Structure formats: structure tokens, C-alpha cells
Amino acid sequence: MAKKKWFASMIALIMALSMIVTACSGKKEAAESSGEQPASTGTAGSNTGEQPPDKVTFRIFNGVAGEKDVNTNETTIGKMLEDQTGVNFKIEHLVGDLNTKIGTMVAANEYPDVIIPDAGINQLLDAGAFIDLTDLIEKYGPNIKRVYEPYFNLMKAEDGGIYFLPFSTVVNGYIPDPNINQGAFWVQRRVLEWAGYPKINKVDDYFKLIEDFIKAHPNENLTGFVTLTHDWRFFATTNVPNHLAGYPNDGEVMVDMQTHEAKIYAGTDYEKRWFKLLNEINAKGLFDKSSFVDNYDQYIAKLTSHKVLGFFDYGWQIGSAQNALRDAAKTDPSQDGYRYFPLPVTFDGGKDQYLDPPGFVNNRGFGITVSAKDPVRIIQFVDNLLKEENQILVKWGVEGETYLKDENGRMYRTQEMIDKMNQKFLEDYGFTVFDWDWPQYGTNSTLADGNAASPGLQPEVFQLSLTEADKKILSAYGVKTYAEMFAPPDNRPWFPAWGIQKEQGSPPQIFEARKTELQRKYIPELVLSDPAKFEDVWTKYTTELNKLDIAGYQQWYTERIKEVVAKAQGK
């Protein structure tokens, strides 16, 4: 998911937000091992008082590493959905390399019932691993149509089929996020407090602040800066020059707002300037050299160790670390200084574009595989999930337990409700399980009555969720939300460019793969080499990069972006 979960992501991308543990035995074996009856194709029950069909467990492979495997019916929300539909999902996550995992599935032509493959989606599409959902949606998906129909043209493959359901739909109205779930330069709060809450907009000032703090605290064994390079999350390192130049997360390209021309930033002066900065801080002993070998779990562990002062990343990607630090600070407010605060840093302190504009990501999603025991039951579960009352359930919970309504119908949470929502509660209740990787109302959606679909975007909830320490640091910067620290996003009808589909083995996909190989080879050397050798390494890197078809890649992207803009303008 980032690039989202973004996006996840977003979306990013999110990115690109998203990875895979497996598990697909035969149908009979799966039914026996789960203790369930074989799936039927009857209509799934909901809140109509009908007797739900026999219970069944389907298997989901999620291509995200570092998450807990779980049965959805082991959570409060999942059990309620099982009571409605008879359906439980056994969710397994990636262990090891994503491409290897998917390649094994493809070679055997055996898949779990559902795959959420993140960056491996094209490999599965090319292998014919997903079924076309068009007829299923038409027959069993009135709520799927309600949520996704505005996006159907963008969702269709070249053959006209719909092979997966994306996560980033905006339903009803759009509401901005007061938090920072996209990119930012993060720094420990205690560093800002120590420095008197300075305004930091330039990347040089950011690193100077960290350097000064370490000099003032020589006995704490502090790390100035880490970066994330593990597996598909490598974009947390390679995307940075783009953001420092004042562009949003469009993936591999910067897009001109007037001409819609797409240009890569790899190999440009922007990228050179960024890695030269990392080279300089490494020479000063401020950079964590293990950044190029640590996996994602090790990275998250370092962020919660109290020793790392700063890093760049997307908010959705560091959620577990942020939650752990927040929970610790709630128990012991003296630890609040170890939490991280987002800064809108650019090269020269100019206008930033870290906040995502409204967009639609169509290269991540939820697909039913050719091995699925009962696609009808799965699509019926999804349709039931997309009923507004169930979107309220998976996002807000149960009225009286995890939210209330005032006399005007505004949904809110009490301080007591918010205080109990630590990481364990969120996991046990099911909020984390149903957070992103499902067909849903996108994060910035609203409900039919105008309430925010996501509680964190509801102004009443956001303000109550702030601790006294949160209010203090926000007040020091003259804002009421974290998002107010950042420039509003400019409208980009194509956003995000990384969400534009590329066929596996196509020239643009091959270009990206080869570019990434070169970056994996040369970026560690650029950062860790003696500063006197930086120029020589840069020349080697750009010489190899320029052998690739940069012009063809940029032309392909420019044409696709102009096509999306034309569609958005009704042409």
C-alpha cells in the first residue's frame, strides 16, 4: 500500500502503498482444516433477518510484509460481518520477496481465493490469475456499482474486463485529512522543543538542526537520519528529490502543470543534490549506514527506539511506529518528545506539494483468483461490506461503544473512547484488519449525511484525539492541524501518475525495473563513499542510466497523462 495505502496507501502510493504469504491447499483440504462446510453459492445474508448461509472461510494473500496474519472472525467487526454473511477470511501476509512469492503461485497455477498483491499486480494480471468481475458485479453487486461506477471506465482492462477492485474511490463529498498520512520529513518533537520550535522549510536547515542537537547530546548514542530501502518500499528513498523539488508523489515522474509533460527526476540535478546531502551527513557520522541492509521490521524498530532523530517517509508507512510511540506517551507523558513531527521541507524553502490532491489509484486492488472456491460468495461479501451501515461499522465501529451522535447527527468519540484505542484495541476490534486493503469508501469520502467516512477526518474527533502535548506543539507553530503546516495541494486530474497501468514486460515497465536496478546498485555507493569520490560515482551511475530509453519512457507517460486529462475534461 502509499504511494498508499497510501495509500495505501494510498497510494502512492501510493506506491504504492503494497508482499505475500501464501497458502492455497485444495478445496476439500481447506474446508476440512478450517472446520467449515464447503461454500455454497446462495445469497449472502445481511441485516435483513434472513438466515445466513453455511459458514465458509476464504483465504486472502496480502502482499504486504510486517503485518499480523489473522482470521477476520477473530475480531469484533469481522465476527459481526461473519454473522451477516457466513464468511470469514483467513488473511496471510508476505514473508520474503514479493516477486518470488507471486512467481511460485504463477508457476503452480494455484492461488488463494483472493490476492491483494500490491506491486505484484501486473505479474498476476499477465498470468490470468484473476477472474473478470464484470458479470458478478452486475448480478450481485448493487453497492459495488454505487461506489465504483463513476470509475468503471478507468478500471477496465484493454479487453473490457474488470479484474480487481481498487481502494481509492471517493464516495459522496471530499474531505481533507488533518493528519499527515503522506510524505514529510519527520523529526523528534524534543528536537524542535530544544531549538525553540524553529520554522524549518529548507532541507539544509533540517539537517543543521539535527546536527546541532546531536552535538548538544553527545552521550545519547543518537542516529541523525535513517532511510528505508527494503524491497518495494525503496521508493521512500528514491522519491525524496521529487518532493524536495516541490512536486507531489506522482511516482517516477514530475509532471508540468501547464503542458502535462512528464520528466523523470532520476539522474537529474535534483537527485544529485539529495544524495550529495546524504553523502555529506554520512561523512559527519549522522547517517545510519544500516539503512541499506535493514528490513522493514528493523526500520520500524529503530523508529521506536528513541535513538533516531529524523527520516523521510509516508505517514501511512510508519503508522505502527507512530502508534507505539503515541501509546507510550499516553502512559508516560514525559515520553512525548520521542514522537515524530512532520515538516514540509524542500530544497530552497519554496512551496511544497506533500499533500495528495484527490486522485484515483488503479494499479493496486482486491482480486478474486481463478482458484477461488466460490466467487459469488466473495463478491456478495464485498457488496455487503460496501453498504453504508457496514462502512460505518468498519470505520467508526458500533454506536454507543466506539462512537456517539449528537443532536445534529454529527458523529463523534468521547475522550474515554479515544483513550482506549491503543494498537491492541484497534487490532482486536478489527479496525486495523479492515483499514485499507478492502473495497471501501476511500479515506477522504463522506457519508450520505455529511459526516466523514473516516473518523480521523471528522473535525470533532481529530480535536479530541489531540493530547495536551499535541496542542502545545501545534500551537507553537500557530496551527490547529498537522496538515496546516503544509501547502494545499494543486489539482492534478491525472494524479497519481504512478497509478497508470503498465503491462508486465512493456517498455515502460522494463525501464522502471532497470532504473531501479541501477539505483539499488549505485545509491548506497553514492551515499557511503568518500565525499571526494562522489562525482566519479555519480558519473558512473548517470552514464548507465542514460543508456536506457528515457525519452521513450517520458513520451509514454506524457501521452497517458494527457489522455487522462482529456477524459477528466470530458473530451
Tens of each residue's pLDDT in the chain, 571 residues: 344 333 333 333 333 333 333 333 333 333 333 333 333 333 344 444 566 679 999 999 999 887 889 999 999 999 999 999 999 999 999 988 888 999 999 999 999 999 999 888 888 998 999 999 999 999 999 999 999 988 888 788 888 999 999 987 889 988 888 999 999 999 999 999 999 999 999 999 999 999 999 999 999 999 999 999 999 999 999 999 999 999 999 999 999 999 999 999 999 999 999 999 999 999 999 999 999 999 999 999 999 999 999 999 999 999 999 999 999 999 999 999 999 999 999 999 999 999 988 877 777 899 999 999 999 999 999 999 999 999 999 999 999 999 999 999 999 999 899 888 888 999 999 999 998 889 999 888 999 999 999 998 998 888 888 999 999 999 999 999 999 999 999 989 899 999 887 887 899 999 999 999 999 999 999 999 999 999 999 999 999 999 999 999 999 999 999 988 887 666 6
pLDDT at 16: 34
Give the other-Cβ count within 10 Å of 431's Cβ. Answer: 20
Phi, psi of 106 (to 5 degrees): -65, -45
Q: What is the 3-state secondary structure (H, E, C) of 208-237?
A: HHHHHHHHHCCCCCCEEEECCCCHHHHHHH
Asked, as a colleague might, if the bond just before 496 is cis with ω within 30 of 0, I would say yes
Pairwise CA distance, residues 300 & 320, whole Å: 8
Pairwise CA distance, residues 378 & 295, whole Å: 34
Pairwise CA distance, residues 213 & 194, whole Å: 8
C-alpha cell at 336: 512525548
C-alpha cell at 495: 494524479
C-alpha cell at 513: 525495473
Phi/psi-derived region of residue 199, left when phi > 0, alpha when psi is between -120 and 50, beta in every other case = beta
Pairwise CA distance, residues 147 & 477, whole Å: 39
Per the CB < 8 A criterion, the answer to whether 202 and 345 are in contact is yes
DSSP class of residue 206?
H
Coil/strand/helix, residue 111? coil
Q: What is the largest CA-CA distance in the chain?
A: 74
134-138, long-range: CB < 8 A, 24+ apart: 134/160, 134/161, 134/162, 136/368, 136/375, 136/376, 136/379, 137/162, 137/379
pLDDT at 204: 98
Q: What domains can be seen in the chain, in order of their start residue?
A: 1-173+361-451 (3.40.190.10), 183-354+466-571 (3.40.190.10)
Pairwise CA distance, residues 166 & 176, whole Å: 20
